[in-house]
Structure 1
């Protein structure tokens, strides 16, 4: 039985391990943390959002980014300090503007396949993760923003998405807890929300009954590809207090799948590939709905405010996830108060609920310049990738896991 090592126990790594094990492979997953889903899969916006599949490669995005550079509270923030990787990535991003429409359609199609696969997995494995199939409501504050969004909506629908225009009265009927002033919106009834951390934990647990082994608290230090397989050399990570970090261990596989999020960039260079992922920082708050009034006045339908670039997900009776912002600031994981406060202010503007208890979080989205994930074999035999999903990791992971597992099956049949 071929042995496959998956590097990374985030949503893409765990989903890849699950699909490979279901095919019949022996699978081992390595992760630097002590538990699965402890980085970007921990507290994201919670949306399974085919309706958010539009890639960012537009001139308008660049112009907004330049305008917002001096505003610390802007939805998109670029640290102008020189960094070769960052500016090379941005140049490549600009070069993909010409592929905007096709890449958006392709992403929609992938997201629709992934959405159904995830629903099927959750039902089959009986995973509880605060799933809400209530759709996603996008709203706009001005006619100009709505007119621009109308063209985007046509593009998304050309990729197979079911999404239709709604009036102000429709907005209030779909989500009556909203208290702000809105111009119009769009509603995608097929999309959903849930707790990505809970789902990944549940799937990791389910995958173990198919034979997946997890080794937590280890850092991959070297990868050696040769005719007989791939040697993965690792040592205890900084979180692993019960092991000697100086002791190196080696595990051999017939093939490896790199699902290491923003760390995939450095691993790919070691393997002779160029997976040009840049970390794009995002923030979230989890509002604790501790009183009956807040529970009654918090939305159940998932929302996306296009002007603020903020999304919401209701995670059970007593939690509301609010997420947004994109920050180009390297591998910095500091939680900045001036980036968290706009999320709290947005909640206070749009709802009548208490924001007294909010848990802040930040994560690094692994983003490619063309906004498409890297799925498939690298230059060398036995090396595969399922990484670079950007802001759509959860939305796309169930499809890309099937794609990479089928490619492995073709090259390393059981």
Structure 2
């Protein structure tokens, strides 16, 4: 029986280990932290959002980035200090602009397909992750952004997603707690929300029940391949150990770039920092005044998710500042201010801030497929859609690994946009 290593205990690594175990592989999951889901899968926006499948590769995004470069509280912030990594990433970002429509359609298709896997797995394993099927409401403050949303909706429809425009009056009916003036909105009934940390840790336990060996506290110092096997060197409480596997799937988020380089591949992931706050709804007025329907504010690029009865997650912004994980007060304040403006009944004296690094490829598409060596595979670079896409890409990489290393029991599903 083939022994496969999965590097990374975030949502993509855990779902990948689960998908491989279901196919009969002997799977070992290696994670540097003591628990699963302790980095980018800890406190994201919580949206299963096919409606947020639009990729960022547009000239308007570039112009906004230039305009906001020296505005500390801007939704998109780029540290002007150059680095070869950043420059090469942005060069490839610009090169992907002609593929904006095709990549948006493909991302929407993957996101819609992911629901079937995710909901089925959650039901089979009895996962409790504060899942709410209340839809996602995109809100727009002016005609220009609303009209652009209409064009995006046409692309999403080609990917199989149905969403429809709503008036301000209809927005009030969908989410009565929302304050402020808006031009209009778009509502996606089929989208949903949930706690990514709860989902990932629940899936990690499910993977263990399927026989996955989970090794936490593994500081991987080297990976190498001879073309037919992979050797992983890691430090832990037991000292340095080398383990040999028949194959490896790299699902290591922003660390995937360095690991890929050691394995002879180029995976140009950049760490794009995002922030979130979790507002603890400690009183009845706050609980009644907080939204139940998930929102995405196009102007501020913020999203919300109601996690259970007593938590409201607000997340967003994009910061290009290398591997910096500092939680900056000037980046958190706009999130708190937004809650106070849009949901004035919600008290914000109990707020837990967080920052995480989204692993983003320049074309905003995840890298799912084989490496140069026959025993090396990748499922990484999901950016802001890790929760949304993870179940689908895990199933895809499971099929790819099975095709390459074992008997094919299912149709291999690889889309051209995701091939290496």
Taking structure 1 as the reference length, the TM-score comes to: 0.97
2:333 equivalent among 334, 341, 362? 341
What is the match of residue 14 of structure 1?
14
Matched, 1:323 2:311: no
Structure 1 distance, partners of 2:348, 2:181, is: 20
3-state secondary structure, aligned to 2:132: coil
2:386 equivalent among 382, 388, 393? 393
Matched, 1:276 2:268: yes
Aligned counterparts, 1:12-411, within 5 A: 12-226=12-226, 228-236=228-236, 243=237, 247-351=239-343, 352-411=345-404
Structure 1 distance, partners of 2:64, 2:116, is: 34
Structure 2 distance, partners of 1:87, 1:227, is: 31
Provide, for residues 57-113 of structure 1, a one-character-per-residue CA deviation record: whole Å limited to 9, x for no partner: 000000011001121110000000111100110011001000000000000000011
Comparing 213-222 with 126-135, which one deviates more in the overlay?
213-222
**Alignment CA distance shift 1:326-1:399 (3 Å):** same
Structure 2 distance, partners of 1:184, 1:358, is: 29
Shift of 1:224: 2.4
What stretches of structure 1 of length at least 5 have no aligned partner?
A: 237-242
3-state secondary structure, aligned to 1:234: strand
Structure 1 distance, partners of 2:150, 2:226, is: 52
Structure 1 distance, partners of 2:219, 2:267, is: 19
Contact kept, 8 Å, 2:368 with 2:397, in 1: the verdict is yes
Shift of 1:226: 2.2
Comparing 227-236 with 61-70, which one deviates more in the overlay?
227-236
Structure 2 distance, partners of 1:7, 1:133, is: 31
Structure 1 distance, partners of 2:185, 2:117, is: 28
Contact kept, 8 Å, 2:295 with 2:304, in 1: the verdict is yes
Structure 2 distance, partners of 1:158, 1:316, is: 33
Provide, for residues 289-313 of structure 1, a one-character-per-residue CA deviation record: whole Å limited to 9, x for no partner: 0000000010010000000000000
Contact kept, 8 Å, 2:4 with 2:245, in 1: the verdict is yes
Structure 1 distance, partners of 2:128, 2:256, is: 29
Contact kept, 8 Å, 2:11 with 2:386, in 1: the verdict is yes
Comparing 304-313 with 213-222, which one deviates more in the overlay?
213-222
Structure 1 distance, partners of 2:403, 2:91, is: 35
3-state secondary structure, aligned to 1:393: helix
Taking structure 2 as the reference length, the TM-score comes to: 0.96
3-state secondary structure, aligned to 1:150: helix
Root-mean-square deviation over aligned CA pairs: 0.9
Provide, for residues 102-157 of structure 1, a one-character-per-residue CA deviation record: whole Å limited to 9, x for no partner: 00000000001112211111111100000001110001111121112111111111
3-state secondary structure, aligned to 2:355: strand
How many residues were matched structurally?
406
Shift of 1:174: 0.3
